Structure 1
Amino acid sequence: MFSVVIPGQPCLPNLAQVEATKFAITFPLVPFTEVVVFFRPDAATPLPPDAAAAVYIQFPEPNPAPGSAPPFHLLGALRNDRQSAIFKIPANIPAMQNVNAMMGAEVVLGISVEPEQVIGPQLNALEAEQGTSMVLVRQQKEITTKVLAQRIIGNAFNFLASFASSDPNNRGLEVVSLKSFRDWWTKFERKVDMDPTFLEREDPSAQG
């Protein structure tokens, strides 16, 4: 009824039916950030009306407690009008942060056919959580851009300060020639060409 694709791996064409409304498949842990789940073409009318196929995934624990089973994480759902989807794997899964140490351990992907009224609130909460994560990522990028802009300005200031001279017509005012600015810009461009990420590491007080 369902098939699964892990990017870079062979298609997993058949999920085993473990209960009347539950399906599951296991596969070895490999590095991946998303998974594709879809109805098989031979599933003519896959779901009852007002039902959804909730997709869950279970990763092995790096340090499992005796007698405890790893939790299942809700990824999303398929419906009769949405028969395939690409689901993102949560970034905070411990196993995905230690893939090399746990390579080959078993991952379980499960699908549970549930009434919309049951799974709907959980899906709404998941979407809200994912939306909040995207806002945090955007804010982080804005902060990074601001820091980079400050470092570019600081780089220019530190370089040009040594070329500043007093303006005879305005006491206390220091000026910099346009040639000095062009020299800084040429040097700055060359440095960016050689190492595009240098500003991400640079001490803001360092000269260009």
Structure 2
Amino acid sequence: MFGCIAAGRPLQTNMVMLSPTTASFTLDDASSINHVVIFLMPDTVLPAGQGATIYFQLPGKEFRLLGSVSMEKQSAVFKLKGPGAAKTGGDEMMHDEAVSGPLIIGIQLEPLESIGAQLQQMQQNMSGATTTGAGALIKPPPPPSTVADKIMKHLFNYLTSFATQNLPMGAMALGQINPQTTYVPLKAFQEWYAKFTNRIRQDPTFLDREDV
């Protein structure tokens, strides 16, 4: 009824029927699996109004929803680890650390209405706050305009400490500079750039603070 392919491995059709509506595949060495494809075998017809929810289980963990297939969508590709991996409830499905043991793929026939509700809940969990393994909230990245504003504010505050209304002796004017306006030596900008980039490397989050 269903086929399963782990990327880089042969097609698996050795599905084990656990009940009239549930089945499973067992994939060896879960730590080496990045992508899984689940699909309906040729000539398979699901009961009217039903589809199949796809679950996965890591060693020592509970089954977690992965997605679904149906007569309208007869195959699905799931990325389980690495950048861009699918998530459930804000958690990456498989972390990059080694997982010892097999990966179980569970398949269950369910009414399409029930499947839709479960997928909607999963999407809501994914769009909500993402948590790390320690439970700390990860804030979404700020918009570029906000970052640019903070950088310019930081630059302005730094350069104003060097501001003067009078050109120093021996200074060279650039263009039509009015001696009555405020000037900043170019060296001050060079120093700010060096200090700013160094601080970004040491503390990438310092712009998030309100006092920059």
What range is the shorter-chain TM-score in?
A: 0.5 to 0.7
Q: Give aligned pairs, total.
A: 180
Give the aligned partner of residue 126 of structure 2: 130
Give the aligned partner of residue 76 of structure 1: 67
User: Measured at CA, do residues 130 and 202 of structure 1 come closer, stay the same or move farther in structure 2, by a change above 3 Å?
Assistant: closer
Q: Aligned to 1:180, which of 178, 182, 186?
A: 186
> 1:164 is paired with a residue of what secondary structure?
coil
Structure that is richer in helix per residue: 1
Inter-partner Cα distance in structure 1 for 2:160 and 2:10: 62
User: What does residue range 1-208 of structure 1 map to in structure 2 within 5 Å?
Assistant: 1-7=1-7, 9-18=8-17, 19-27=19-27, 28-30=29-31, 35-40=36-41, 43-61=42-60, 70-87=61-78, 88-90=86-88, 92=91, 96-97=94-95, 99-100=97-98, 103-132=99-128, 140-142=140-142, 146=146, 149-151=149-151, 153-155=153-155, 157-158=157-158, 160-166=159-165, 175-177=182-184, 180=186, 184=189, 188=193, 198=201, 201=204
User: Measured at CA, do residues 141 and 59 of structure 1 come closer, stay the same or move farther in structure 2, by a change above 3 Å?
Assistant: same
* Contact 2:5-2:11 at 8 Å conserved across structures: yes
Which residue identity is paired with 2:201? F
User: Measured at CA, do residues 151 and 141 of structure 1 come closer, stay the same or move farther in structure 2, by a change above 3 Å?
Assistant: same
The C-alpha deviation readout for 1:159-206, integer Å capped at 9, x for no partner, is x235310369xxxx98234x628x7379839x86xx8x638537569x
Which residue identity is paired with 2:76? A
User: Measured at CA, do residues 111 and 185 of structure 1 come closer, stay the same or move farther in structure 2, by a change above 3 Å?
Assistant: farther
User: Measured at CA, do residues 81 and 46 of structure 1 come closer, stay the same or move farther in structure 2, by a change above 3 Å?
Assistant: same
What is the CA RMSD across the aligned residues, in angstroms? 4.2
User: Measured at CA, do residues 133 and 15 of structure 1 come closer, stay the same or move farther in structure 2, by a change above 3 Å?
Assistant: farther
* Contact 1:148-1:200 at 8 Å conserved across structures: no
Give the aligned partner of residue 66 of structure 1: none
Give the alignment's TM-score, normalised by structure 2: 0.62
Inter-partner Cα distance in structure 2 for 1:21 and 1:10: 26
How much has 1:5 moved relative to structure 2? 3.5
Inter-partner Cα distance in structure 2 for 1:99 and 1:49: 42
Identify unmatched segments of 5+ residues in structure 1: 62-69
Which residue identity is paired with 1:111? I
Inter-partner Cα distance in structure 2 for 1:142 and 1:46: 47
> 1:141 is paired with a residue of what secondary structure?
coil
Give the alignment's TM-score, normalised by structure 1: 0.63
How much has 1:115 moved relative to structure 2? 2.1
